[in-house]
Amino acid sequence: MPFALSADSASLVFKVCDVQVYIQNDNLSYIVSIPLIDKGEFNAYYLVPIPIEANKDKLVYIRTEKSILCVDKTRIYYFFSSDQELQCRKETAKLKSCVSKINHYRTA
């Protein structure tokens, strides 16, 4: 978290959390989703399928499920995304700050 967890910061916690409350079979249940905050820098690459010649009369290309590959500067962590899933705001000409609710993967 970008702030200390304390009674004073409870209102800030609720601003970044997603709380779902429901009643089922006379039980009150709730789900609290707290985002993991990572200050890591990722490079975003648009995945463009390039046709490769399979034989003289056929071309083959790999179609990706997601259109963006994000890799951190150390090339250890990565995740796939789409334009709709990755919510970014432009900070400078070369830097964007993004929010994603996507699983991150580790190469090693």
Q: In what order do the strands lie in the sheet with 68-72?
A: 42-46, 68-72, 77-81, 105-106
* Dist. CA 52–CA 60, nearest whole Å: 5
Task: Residue 75: name the closest of 48, 47, 41 by CA.
Answer: 41
Higher pLDDT, 101 or 62: 62
The answer to whether the beta carbons of residues 61 and 50 sit under 8 Å apart is yes
pLDDT digit string, tens, across residues 39-75: 678 888 988 888 888 888 898 888 888 888 889 888 8
* Dist. CA 104–CA 78, nearest whole Å: 6
Confidence at 23, pLDDT banded by 50, 70, 90: very high
Strand, helix or coil at 2?
coil
Is the pLDDT confidence value at 86 over 60?
Answer: yes
Confidence at 106, pLDDT banded by 50, 70, 90: confident
Confidence at 80, pLDDT banded by 50, 70, 90: confident
Structure tokens that stand for 44 in this block: 């975003």
Structure tokens that stand for 83 in this block: 């334009």
**Whether this model's pTM surpasses 0.95:** no
Domain range annotation of the chain? 1-37, 42-106
